[in-house]
Amino acid sequence: MSALAVLPPIGRLGRYDLLGKLATGGVAEIYVGRMTGPRDVTRMVVIKRINPSLAENPIVKRDFLHEAKLMLGLSHPNLATVHDVGEESGALFLAMEWVRGVSLRKVLDASRRKQQPLPLELVVDLFTDVASALAHVHTATDAQGKPLRIVHRDISPENVVVGWNGIPKLLDFGVAKSDAASKQTDAGVVKGKYAYMAPEQWGGETVDGRSDLFALAASLHEALTGKALFDRPTPMATMAAIVLQPPPDPPSASRADVPAELDRIVAKGLAREPSARYASAEEMRSDLEALAASIAPLSSQGSTREQRAAAFLRALFPGEADREPILDRKPPSMRFAVEAPREPTPVDLQLQAEADLESDAILREQRSRQRTVALVVALLVVATLAFVVVNLR
């Protein structure tokens, strides 16, 4: 029996015992939780709770609830399952599947550190599964069958966790957009990790599932080569690398065992124009699946892709799969109070005004970014024309 199964709780949220804090982010705290049912039936979960300092921020609460609504409607083997949404003492929280494993970012870092490139078949297998998860996300519908048109907007190695069982899971829909979101959620907002954002995201244009495929292809290129494709020292340099520079070298330029078909898949996902990319995640998944069948080594016959991934992870991180996580056992802050519905107070109105100001600031920043992109493009065009004129003379 795991030691966590009998660990005394440090607090409680709804029907979940909190066993300790696993991590803290900018918006939320992550706890390991335990739900106990009849006859000592237990389930271990992770609890994602809004950070106490942001619990009354209207924008944070809105985005948190939007994430919860999206994830409750999704069900796929390569997505982390959301079991429950609740509110306790004024704090919103999600109870989610606890994926025991490591992020793809940590896998890439360990691979670089040990100078041990990820096996080609492992990379293709993992990205086939993530593309399958994205296909499910992009085609999800509401209860009436209406397409939700969800776009994750934050595909990156940080948001893929590979379980010790070898199953990858796509996480974190905190900045996802969908037709179910209010216009305020999406209008003019640049969201995502800079080095994986599609050109249209940088320009503040309309994004769709093909924007996620650009980020997936950038992550795939990095997994194959061990180098972040577009990451630069500053956001503007990163933007220039994505929007202005020529197409990047194929993975095979850095790694001789990458077949031409995999180069083609990566290049199609990285096309600057969305219309030149894969039309859907399912198309990309299908091509990766076909490639996986052709490159699986003879030594792997009789084993599943999950078994191969699990064996590789345990070799890359010896002993870690069997260790219990290190938890912060300090009791959580529960200083919120649930208030009865009431008329807006001056404080409420101030918070709403601050939220409106924040939205306006985001719009101003986005317009400034668009003007900068346009200026850089214009300068590049002028320089090119000047070069042509001089050479013609």
Q: Looking at the domain assignment, is residue 240 inside a domain?
A: yes
Check whether residue 73 and residue 151 sit in a common domain: no
Check whether residue 8 and residue 124 sit in a common domain: no
Q: Looking at the domain assignment, is residue 327 inside a domain?
A: no
Question: Residue 315 has what pLDDT?
Answer: 95
Question: Residue 78 has what pLDDT?
Answer: 96
Check whether residue 229 and residue 274 sit in a common domain: yes
Would the pLDDT of 187 be above 70? Answer: no
* Residue 154 a catalytic site member: yes
Check whether residue 82 and residue 108 sit in a common domain: no
How many structural domains does the chain have? 3
**Band of residue 281 on the pLDDT scale cut at 50, 70, 90:** very high
Check whether residue 206 and residue 278 sit in a common domain: yes
Q: Count how many residues are written for the chain.
A: 393
Average pLDDT over every residue of 16-40: 88
Q: Is the dihedral of CA 158, 159, 162, 168 positive or negative?
A: negative
Q: Name 46's bridge partners.
A: 32, 96
Question: Residue 338 has what pLDDT?
Answer: 39
Check whether residue 311 and residue 201 sit in a common domain: yes
Q: Looking at the domain assignment, is residue 158 inside a domain?
A: yes
User: How far apart (Å, rounded) are the C-alpha atoms in residues 43 and 104?
Assistant: 25
**Band of residue 366 on the pLDDT scale cut at 50, 70, 90:** low
Q: Looking at the domain assignment, is residue 43 inside a domain?
A: yes
pLDDT, the chain, mean:
84
Tell me the percentage of the chain whose pLDDT exceeds 90. 54
Average pLDDT over every residue of 343-371: 54
Question: Residue 297 has what pLDDT?
Answer: 67
Question: Residue 121 has what pLDDT?
Answer: 94
For the stretch 144-163, what's the b/e string if a residue is b when 16 or more beta carbons lie within 10 angstroms of its beta carbon?
Answer: eeeebbbbbbbbbbbbbbbb
CB 84 within 8 A of CB 143: no
pTM: 0.81
Q: Looking at the domain assignment, is residue 290 inside a domain?
A: yes
Would the pLDDT of 68 be above 50? Answer: yes
Average pLDDT over every residue of 257-273: 97
Active-site position among 154, 172, 186, 287: 154
Q: What CATH number did the domain enclosing 56 receive?
A: 3.30.200.20
Would the pLDDT of 154 be above 60? Answer: yes
Helical spans, DSSP H, in the chain = 58-72, 104-113, 120-138, 183-186, 199-202, 209-225, 235-243, 260-269, 281-295, 305-316, 346-392
Average pLDDT over every residue of 348-365: 52
Question: Residue 269 has what pLDDT?
Answer: 98
Eight-state DSSP code of residue 321: G
Query: 376: domain range?
Result: 344-393
Average pLDDT over every residue of 304-327: 92
Question: Residue 27 has what pLDDT?
Answer: 85
The structure tokens listed for 83 are: 């079991």
**pLDDT for 114-131, tens place per residue?**
999 999 999 999 999 999
Higher-confidence residue of 6 and 248: namely 248
The structure tokens listed for 212 are: 């996620």
User: How far apart (Å, rounded) are the C-alpha atoms in residues 230 and 198?
Assistant: 11
Domain boundary among 97, 119, 135: 97
The neighbour count for residue 134, using CB atoms within 10 Å, is 28
Question: Residue 67 has what pLDDT?
Answer: 84
